Structure 1
């Protein structure tokens, strides 16, 4: 891959303040993108990422709301008005056992994982390069291989899988590609956000690695190259695909 694969391109990455989103934004910047707009609801985290590369532009926004989507669109318009790559990374997992469902948790998960991508894509579509634009969604293996206690999250990610294929068919005549990745267990702060302490997280990873054929939990560095690869021009025949990155867990 050329060091300037995304030269002069504008990229939007949601949930760009931490984890996969942070690494993805920096990867696009290192690959030559002139502007990488990162969104999120915590300005301090976005500012930390923006300080690491001059191409990264922080936009504090809740993209589950029309006002947040508008703020991102305004940032794109202020920097030339054409968007080349849209990465839907923002997501949240919450435990949701069926016998203890919380309505607020249900709404939070569906809003962030599903409503946000829908609203933002609709708002940015007029700005997305056509032909040549690319959308990449960060989903989860839970979308096609869920586990007990996570039905709301799994349903939201199954919906993301459906969006990927539906949008790919709908936007293909415009020359816009849509793909997704579906990671398994990845070392991010998502587990701490669900109330697990460091020892609990370590114990979880130690347990699940024995169920992974390749024998280890994923790292962020395992994920971001697939996002940039799906977005690059060399992948111009790839659309409607959902790439599972789970160390072979689907085999068991």
Structure 2
């Protein structure tokens, strides 16, 4: 097997400025991708990632809009015009207790986690290598094991699971594969973005660790490893799969 499986290939990673998206972009670049186009709404965070590897191309875009999807497509066209890998990582988590549900928050979650992947996939599909292209969606174990006060987030990730299986069947005749990674708890900025202090985040992770059979939460780089593995040519017969990476919480019934 080549140590550069993505040589001469173009990759798009949404939500590429932080967390799993950042780790994935760096992983694809290290594995030989000629261009890794990272998108997001925060220009400064994308620029920070781009400084870490010459193959990373920052594109500030809101992919929940057609204008944002067009900007990503233009970047692909400017780097050869053919897309090999599309990673749908952009997403938001918000606490959504039913008794205090805010309609604006509901729209934010559904537009980012559901509408965004649909619009961007539709726009980039004509550019996706066929046969040989691949999509990897970043979901969550919440998509199949929802918890209290996160019903909208869990519903949005259940939709991602549905996209994975439906698109895999729809695109298989074109030689395009579609898979997803469903992480459990991961050390990202998502918790701070929901208003938790650093102490509260660390307390949450410490408590969660007791529920994880393997004893800890994941790092973004560990999730990125499986994203790249699902995308690489060695996984050519893998499609329609949702890989849960949660330290054994599912099998323990947590």
Normalised by the shorter chain, which TM-score bucket?
over 0.9
Please list, as runs of the form range in 1=range in 2, the aligned pairs for 1:151-166 lying within 5 A after superposition: 151-166=151-166
Q: Distance in 2 between matches of 1:139 and 1:22?
A: 16
Residue 180 of structure 1 corresponds to: 180
Q: Distance in 2 between matches of 1:78 and 1:187?
A: 34
Residue 239 of structure 1 corresponds to: 239
Instruction: For residue 70 of structure 1, give the secondary structure of its aligned residue in structure 2.
Output: helix
**8 Å contact kept, 2:24–2:221:** no
Question: TM-score with structure 1 length normalisation?
Answer: 0.99
Structure 2 unmatched runs, 5+: none
Instruction: For residue 157 of structure 1, give the secondary structure of its aligned residue in structure 2.
Output: helix
Q: CA RMSD in A?
A: 0.6
Question: TM-score with structure 2 length normalisation?
Answer: 0.98
Residue 59 of structure 2 corresponds to: 59
Residue 8 of structure 1 corresponds to: 8
Give the paired residue count: 252
Residue 72 of structure 1 corresponds to: 72
Q: Deviations over 1:143-177 (max 9, x none)?
A: 00011000000000000000000000000000000
1:196 aligns with 2:206: no
Give the deviation of 1:222 after TM superposition: 1.4
Residue 249 of structure 1 corresponds to: 249
Residue 83 of structure 1 corresponds to: 83
Residue 209 of structure 1 corresponds to: 209
Q: Deviations over 1:9-65 (max 9, x none)?
A: 000000000000001001000100000000000000000000111000000000000
Structure 1 unmatched runs, 5+: none
Q: Distance in 2 between matches of 1:188 and 1:239?
A: 27
Give the deviation of 1:4 after TM superposition: 1.1
